Structure 1
């Protein structure tokens, strides 16, 4: 069965960490507070290749950074007393905003760009990785997890096992 990562219900019946992520996202109303920005959970937790310390990557479509930051502030998405870090960066010339903070056992990264979330590289990489994992099976998945435990980031780990010259670009071709 193919998972629809645009709907969060798969987390409820997922592995323990996915279920805990679902509880946290629901408890703090994170996706509801970000609803104006088409939030999606991307990264390793949805495709079950996360390791201890993996974060919840929430990607958003952000047309107006000031409105985005004000929405987060007014909604108290980040509870009072929780330290957060906000960065405005450029990735391949595209303006991006990154907000990092911790809630309970999860590091959280909220990432925004002025493009639909399903067209952002984080989501596209996750879908490509999911497809590869489905094709290659459990042993391949465990090899990815082992590489990640050794400190290799996700895309480079796929690059190592698939002999990809530039994994960040090459994964987008899958």
Structure 2
């Protein structure tokens, strides 16, 4: 379902706005060789004011990716590019704003469907589909300052590192 952004056209008001912004930006087409997928809260309808649009990609060669991202999006407001490491995996991130949305382009040398952002979104979406009443509670916790994964863990009674706990929950429920 999340391989393309077409579903956003039929979503809530913010999802429709995001669809147009992403299309107008041309990011999916411009960086298609990196298999971009929109992840995070907006695709599953639990975004709040200030939620960004996370687009994850499989990036092996950082130098050419950096040049392309800078050439395509470097002129956008608040453009920043950063290389770092998360869980001992090198990542490259670009952030900027466009049409009222903060974008985060996130690349790491791993297929997108194996990245935490995608797996967490699939787990969270499945939880919400089975328990629609949790949606408002997750949003409320997010508005109080909790990040998404910690909010889900709190509601599910999961302890420990929320990012790992959510993965283990997904595995135990055979979601992933």
TM-score bracket for the superposition, by shorter chain length: over 0.9
2:110 is matched with: 115
> Does the 8 Å contact 1:42/1:123 carry over to 2?
yes
1:57 is matched with: 54
The partner residue of 1:104 within 99, 103, 109 is: 99
Say whether 1:154 aligns with 2:151: no
> Does the 8 Å contact 2:41/2:51 carry over to 1?
yes
| Number of matched pairs | 168
> Does the 8 Å contact 2:34/2:57 carry over to 1?
yes
How far the C-alpha of 1:81 sits from its partner, in A, is 5.2
How far the C-alpha of 1:51 sits from its partner, in A, is 0.2
- Give 1:1-174 correspondences, 5 Å limit: 4-74=1-71, 76-78=72-74, 80=75, 82-137=77-132, 139-165=133-159, 166-173=161-168, 174=170
Secondary structure, in 3 states, of the residue corresponding to 1:83? Answer: strand
Normalising by structure 1, what TM-score?
A: 0.93
> Does the 8 Å contact 2:76/2:97 carry over to 1?
no
Secondary structure, in 3 states, of the residue corresponding to 1:96? Answer: strand
- CA root-mean-square deviation: 1.1
Normalising by structure 2, what TM-score?
A: 0.92
Gapped runs of 5+ residues in structure 2?
Answer: 171-176
Matches of 1:82 and 1:172, distance apart in 2? 35
How far the C-alpha of 1:73 sits from its partner, in A, is 2.5
